[in-house]
Structure 1
Amino acid sequence: MQDELLYQRIAAGIEFQIFKEVLRVGDKLPSIRTVCREQGVSMSTATQAYFELERKGLIESRPKSGYYVSQLSHKSLESPFTSHPTSETSNNYIDDLVLRVNDSLCDNKLTQFSLSVPSDELLPIAKLNKAVLHAMRNLPYSGTGYELAQGNLDLRRQIARWSFTWGGKLREEDIVITAGCRNALALSLMAVTKCGDSIAVESPVYFGILQLAKSLGLNIVELSTNSKTGIEIEALKKVMPQIKACLLVSNFNNPLGSCMPDEQKKEVVSLLSKHEIPLLEDDLYADTYFGNSRPLSCKSFDEEGNVLWCSSVSKTLAPGYRVGWVAAGKYTEQVKRLSLLHSGSASTLTQQVVADFLENGRYENHLRRLRGILHTNSLQFLRAIGEYFPEDTRVTKPQGGFVLWLELNKKIDAIRLYEKAHRQRISIAPGPMFTLQNQYSNCIRLSYGLKWSRELETGLKQLGRMAKEMTNE
């Protein structure tokens, strides 16, 4: 009875501090050993107190890191509604706005909430520089020669070994190295479609995918998508007679952050394979998971070679290296020929650097640190949105990736909010960038792939104030 009172007292004290915001979202709690020492209680009592706080959803455990405040009990943010795109495509896709947002990414005077890659401060730049010097010393002619058209053998071997973590069962000969993930997607689309074909995608969907498909003369069919679990399978079934391929960001989708459950991935792979519709899987974000293990990929369930699995290190290690790859299954030969025809091989030097990072464990060490920072940042952003934005704001709560999707009051025009924010030196990504239809006009995407700072807090506060003003107009 005494132990029960003790653990409840400890839990109640921490809960009070969270409620009063003495402990804020993202703050690290004392270790269980510290609680034992400071409170004079047993290990089991301290552990039970933390379990009680976890049960209430107030704190969460992170492997090899400790316990962190996860939310404020009195400020619960609702998730966005499931999207319901129509079958009609608008001609009003705003290419100029996409270019403006992209062109501002190198403007250091802006608070870059529109950036969907980790900031330089979160990358192991010094270690990468050392790896470049090492590669130059060891590669023939210091890495200035051409690489194999299929890509660096060491890198393909390391990617194949890395695939073991998610059940990929890949071999080095299954993989083609590309100039980033978008190049991998482009080659894959060219291998399985022709101009005038239709492909199915999530909605909202990353604007780069829309631009790529349009450039290849493809028609886009946007699917109803849940902010937590990805596409609605019934929506996919309805459009299957009209599509030649399906392109999905299965893990921590950009911009929603959704992650398809394993059973749903398995069902999608089986369904598409049965109808001989290739699945292009953009798996850029899976390594940025916040939980105990990396989510499986659709490729994990591919028995027929029908999944073209695309990824890169652009979102996790070195955006500017432009090192990506595709495991194209039964379409590998077509992709290899297209790669040789359109782009040749990626940079010899950067391929070797990435291979070395994978081989000696530096990549995984970096990822562990990056995942912890991103998780804490996501909680800080959710806390700030709850404090500063209108009460009816809906926001995603991803378990990995870099971005949050906000669904604002219908009175708020996202493009107008973008313009107002830009004048205040704040950059956001308006919702209409992520569709070819007239939708998401009251939505925005924010990136938390930044080093948390007072400047970010101030920027979110300003952004929330602008949203409130527009709601009250």
Structure 2
Amino acid sequence: MKKTPKYQQVAERLTRMIEEGVFGPGAAAPSVRKLSQQWEVSISTILKAYYLLEARGLLVPRPRSGFFVSHKLPSAPPAPDLSDPDPDPTTVGMRELITRIVIHDTLNPKLIQLGAAHPAMEQTATRQLNRLMASAARRMGDRAGLYMPHSDNRSLRQQIALHAMDAGCSLDADEIVITSGCGEAVSACLQAICRPGDTVAVESPICFDVFQYLENLGLKALEIPTHPKDGISLEALRFALENNSVQACVVISNFNNPLGSCIPDGNKKDLVRMLASYDIPLIENDIFGDVHYSTRRPVSAKAFDADGRVMWCGSFSKTLSPGLRVGWAAAGRYRSTVAWLKYSVSLAAPTLSQVAVAAFMAEGGYRQHLRRIRRVYRQRLAELRRAVIRFFPTDIRVTDPAGGYLLWIELPEVVDALKLYRLALNEGIAITPGHLFSTGDRYRNFIRLNAANWSDEALPAIRRLGRVVSQMARG
């Protein structure tokens, strides 16, 4: 596993000191030699850190005088406003757009990937899991090649139930259905409770995966205004429920994709109670809940479920490895239907993946892994956000998430994100335009960026992208 380079650690420490006012605007930074001695690192390490802070606009070099804190530190722009989607249900038809953008470009190794919501490959636990799978294959022999339906993998379900306690949930292993990723879990839950033509209330914006499931099942989307910090508007949702026939509600409760919003605990409780009063099931996608940057994991809405109407879905794709294809649904009163749908569609999740994940969790590897990636992704998210603030036009709006690794950026109104997407490809950069996160054209001047793959190569890419945005803004 790669560790954060020493110079980046030094740069982060200095950045915090500048942000906290230890070194004010115009103040001289400590001399390279002095800081090298005090922090017991090499002179070259301090220099690389200073050069990085110069690129960020925090330090300014003066010939024969050293480095000084910039008088014009990048100021943080505001977050986007509460979203304002159409108040009526909408038929979903996004297959062509999603296919063209997501499938074609997100796997292109020649592009700097700043759009797709994939974890960084060097931050996955693939090597450890491969060793566990090899060990399981030797131990199981021919049985390793057999199906492992959800009813046969009690060890994994027990580990997920234990881990669910961090999210405030008290679950029995038998309540959990193992799926091939979180997407299959959400799709099966929708299919279990909805019929073609039904209406599903969703956050707006929300990950385009949800619109794929709705389109495949012939369901309508009713988009609900969502705040970039506190998530779905309960007032707007209540109004929607009073004026529409709604059969289900879908939220990404902790660190919404793309907003990064996290529904406060009290709001989650009120959300569950409100939907229960209308007899409407809640499908909760909690795939980013483990990638939090506070002292404790935010609870899930499932923690407030008193009658089994909340269907809690998750996976290890954003934390351990997307190729595992191991997810779950704790579907409450709908468990037997979801289990049957899983069985009838794909029968079972990959056998060795399930065995390896269960072993990794049982030996404490998952908790240790989460502690490490939280540090890495928190730093990378801050790096990306600072670069966007420095190199993009000053009139942008950008989120400041407390978890996950995604940024949602509102560009000047004249900037069309689809056109920007095509121009970015010419610069060797892949981004995700806001058009994908709604059934309408309401996020046409928004983009989503992914900080997981942040690197030294990504900084000049953001500089180039900011230059293109500025040119488009000027017309």
Please, what TM-score do these two structures have when normalized by structure 1? 0.85
More displaced stretch, 221-230 vs 13-22: 13-22
Q: State the secondary structure of the residue aligned to 1:288.
A: coil
Change (3 A) 1:275 1:22: farther
Q: Which residue, out of 420, 444, 449, partners 1:417?
A: 420
User: 1:334-385: CA deviations, max 9, x gaps?
Assistant: 1112122222111111011111111111111111111111100111011101
More displaced stretch, 93-102 vs 322-331: 93-102
User: 1:45-90: CA deviations, max 9, x gaps?
Assistant: xxxxxxxxxxxxx9xxxxxxxxxxxxx9651221011101013567
Distance (Å, rounded) in 2 between the aligned partners of 1:359 and 1:280: 28
Change (3 A) 1:76 1:139: same
Q: State the secondary structure of the residue aligned to 1:471.
A: helix
* Maintained 8 Å contact 2:195/2:219: yes
| Partner residue in 2 for 1:468 | 470
| 1:323 and 2:326 aligned | yes
In structure 2, give the amino acid aligned to 1:15. Answer: G
Q: State the secondary structure of the residue aligned to 2:133.
A: helix
- Return 5+ residue gaps in structure 2 as ranges: 1-15, 30-34, 41-57, 59-71
| Partner residue in 2 for 1:199 | 200
| Partner residue in 2 for 1:235 | 236
Change (3 A) 1:422 1:22: farther
Q: How does 1:172-187 map to 2 (within 5 A)?
A: 172-187=173-188
In structure 1, give the amino acid aligned to 2:387. Answer: A
Deviation at 1:132, TM superposition (A): 1.1
| 1:133 and 2:146 aligned | no
**What is the root-mean-square deviation of aligned Cα atoms in Å?**
2.4
Change (3 A) 1:76 1:21: farther
Q: Which residue, out of 321, 333, 337, partners 1:334?
A: 337
| 1:188 and 2:194 aligned | no
Distance (Å, rounded) in 2 between the aligned partners of 1:115 and 1:21: 40
In structure 2, give the amino acid aligned to 1:309. Answer: W
Q: State the secondary structure of the residue aligned to 1:287.
A: coil
In percent, how many aligned pairs have the same letter? 37
User: 1:175-233: CA deviations, max 9, x gaps?
Assistant: 00001111001110111111110000000111011011111000000000000000110
| Partner residue in 1 for 2:431 | 428
| Partner residue in 2 for 1:47 | none
Distance (Å, rounded) in 1 between the aligned partners of 2:112 and 2:219: 35
Deviation at 1:389, TM superposition (A): 0.2
Distance (Å, rounded) in 1 between the aligned partners of 2:24 and 2:406: 25
| Partner residue in 1 for 2:61 | none
| Partner residue in 1 for 2:307 | 304
Deviation at 1:402, TM superposition (A): 1.8
In structure 2, give the amino acid aligned to 1:244. Answer: Q
Please, what TM-score do these two structures have when normalized by structure 2? 0.84
In structure 1, give the amino acid aligned to 2:357. Answer: V
| 1:266 and 2:269 aligned | yes
Deviation at 1:133, TM superposition (A): 1.0
User: 1:146-198: CA deviations, max 9, x gaps?
Assistant: 21343511100100111111221011100000011110011101111111100
Distance (Å, rounded) in 1 between the aligned partners of 2:152 and 2:414: 51
Deviation at 1:437, TM superposition (A): 1.3
Deviation at 1:13, TM superposition (A): 11
Deviation at 1:112, TM superposition (A): 0.4
In structure 1, give the amino acid aligned to 2:457. Answer: E
Change (3 A) 1:13 1:384: closer
Deviation at 1:18, TM superposition (A): 6.9
Q: State the secondary structure of the residue aligned to 1:222.
A: strand
User: 1:426-469: CA deviations, max 9, x gaps?
Assistant: 0000001110012111000000111x322100111111110000
Distance (Å, rounded) in 1 between the aligned partners of 2:308 and 2:157: 18
In structure 2, give the amino acid aligned to 1:101. Answer: I
Distance (Å, rounded) in 2 between the aligned partners of 1:292 and 1:385: 27
